[in-house]
Amino acid sequence: MTAPIEVTGSESEAQPEAVLAGMGGKVEGRSLGQIAWMRLRRDKVAMSGGVLVLVLILMAIFAPLLSSWFGHPPSEFHQDMIDPNLQRPLHGPWHSGVSAEFPLGVEPTSGRDIFSRIVYGARISLLIAFLATLLSVILGSTLGIIAGYFGGWVDTVIARAMDIFLAFPILLFAIALAGVVQGKVFGLSGNGLRIALLIFIIGFFNWAYIGRIIRGQTLSLREREFVDAARSMGARAPYILFRELLPNLIAPILVYSTLLIPTNILFEAALSYLGVGVNEPTPTWGGMLAQAVPIYSVDPWFMIVPGLAIFVTVLAFNLCGDGLRDALDPRTR
């Protein structure tokens, strides 16, 4: 975690000359958001990261279309492409099964279309990561603001809670819970239950990271004059929290959310790799990697493709997050 950023520090007020020059001489006040957006636009690498993220999201949304245009149904077996004794694809470079019909080859043993499974796997990874991040951010920000603003025993309780959550070995708990929750809970069952459980585990156990940062930010913000001013005008706590403090915290919340998403993608991949992700035959990237483990010495392609998928996705989000952070606080470029 990088050091907390100052969003209203001296440096981020930008160099007025540069802004003026870019405007062609007209003098006009610019909001922080506009300044940040201008900086972001100039950062080519971050923009390409953003484009990549967009492509991935579209790929996930249009997975069924893509799969039917370029590949085969993700669960369909094609064992005629597989050597029954050696378990690996018969054709293609490096025994990958890559051909015009199967653009990314076929899986060993079952012969399922890798391209389709990758594209559908994006759905699981992105869905779980986004929703879990949302949960973390909502929980963490709310509790962080409350702790930072009210101080006293409220702060102590929430801060201790953060300590407790940070002390848990989250991976072990995720595995344990996933193994123990069966049947029907809250009307959900099967894969629906699994996905909800994963979102809950990843989101719930991670709130303390954001919580700590937001709490720190709130602590420093509440000493500012604008808060005093609001209070002296008779504003009550909810007003101050949501109308005064929150807008100033949007920037760090945004930045840390964008940095939390790739962490959650990796977390979901790890859980799928360990076998506690969603159920068969729904494809997940981590699950495909786990299946590749016993056979990678004869079919390395099947290990490389899902690993690369995870890598590229996480990289894209990291580039975005870095770019966003640099746009809001160029000191650390």
Partner 1 sequence: MVNFLIRRVLAAIALLIIVSMVTFAIFFLVPRLTGASSADLASRYVGKTAGPQAIHEVEVRLGLDRPLVIQYWNFVKGIVIGAHYNFGPSKVYCGPPCFGYSFVNQTPVWPDLLDRMPVTLSLAGGAAIIWLVFGVTTGVVSALKRGSPVDRASMGIALAGVSLPIFFTGLLSLAIFRDNLQWFPGAGTYVGLTQDPLTWASNLVLPWVTLAFLQAALYARLTRAGMLETMGEDYIRTARAKGLPERTVIVRHALRATLTPVLTIFGIDLGTLLGGAVLTEGTFSLPGLGKFAIDSINNNDLPRVLGVVMIGAFFIVLANLVVDVLYAVIDPRVRLS
Partner 2 sequence: MRRRTPLVAVGVALALALAACGGSGDSGGSSSGSGTFNAGLTTTVNQSTKTGGTLRIGNAGDWDNVDPADTYYGYSWDFIRLYGRALTMFKPGPGKEGLQLVPDLAQNLGEHSADFKTWTYKLKPGIKYEDGTPVRAQDVKYDVERTLDKSTFPNGPTYFNDFLDTKGYTSPYKDKTPGKLGLKAVETPDDTTIIFHLKKPFSGFDYFAMLPATIPVPQAKDTGANYKMHVVSTGPYKFESYTPGKSLNLVRNTNWDPATDPNRKQLPDRIQVQIGINADDLDNRLMAGSMDMDVAGTGVQAAAAARIQSNPNLKKNADSSPTARLNYISMSQSVPPFDNIHCRRAVQYATDKAAMQTAWGGPLSGGDVATHLLMPLIPGNQDINPYPSGPGNHGDLAKAKAELQQCGKPNGFSTVISARTERPKEIQAALAMQQGLQKVGIKTEIKKYPQGDYFKLYAGNPAYVKKNGLGLLSMSWGADWTEGFGFLSQIVDSRVIRDAGNTNLGVTDPAVDKLIDKATTTADDTARGAIWAQIDAKVMDGAWMVPFLDVKQLLYRPPNVKNAYVSQGLNGYYDYAQLGVK
CB of 285 to partner 1, least distance (A): 9
Binding partner 2 by CB under 8 A: which of 113, 268, 326, 329? 326
Comparison of 102 and 301: residue with beta carbon closer to partner 2: 301
330 touching partner 2, by CB under 8 A:
no
Do residues 306 and 288 lie in contact, with contact meaning Cβ atoms separated by under 8 Å? yes
Q: What stretches of 181-235 show up as alpha helix (H) in DSSP?
A: 190-205, 207-221, 225-232
Within 13 A of 89's CA, how many CA atoms are on the CB side?
A: 26
Do residues 116 and 182 lie in contact, with contact meaning Cβ atoms separated by under 8 Å? no
Angle among Cα 5, 32, 263 to the nearest 5 degrees reads 45
Do residues 57 and 126 lie in contact, with contact meaning Cβ atoms separated by under 8 Å? yes
User: Which tokens is 216 given?
Assistant: 């720190």
Do residues 64 and 48 lie in contact, with contact meaning Cβ atoms separated by under 8 Å? no
192 touching partner 2, by CB under 8 A:
no
User: Which tokens is 174 given?
Assistant: 């995720």
CB of 171 to partner 1, least distance (A): 5
CB atoms within 10 A of CB 7: 18
> What residues numbered 114-153 form the site for partner 2, per CB under 8 A?
none
Q: Would you call 189 helix, strand, or coil by DSSP?
A: coil
Comparison of 110 and 142: residue with beta carbon closer to partner 2: 110
Residue 88 site contact among partner 1, partner 2, none (CB < 5 to 8 Å, cut-off depends on kind):
partner 2
318 touching partner 2, by CB under 8 A:
no
Q: Site residues (CB under 8 A) for partner 1? A: 1-3, 11, 160, 163-164, 166-169, 171-173, 175-177, 179-183, 185, 262, 266, 269-270, 273-274, 286, 289, 292-293, 296-297, 300, 303, 307, 310-311, 314-315, 318-319, 322, 331-333
Q: DSSP state, 94?
A: G
What residues make contact with partner 2 under the rule CB under 8 A? 43-46, 48, 75-77, 79, 82-88, 94, 109-110, 179, 183, 190, 275, 279-281, 291, 294-298, 300-301, 303-304, 308, 311, 315, 319, 322-323, 326, 333
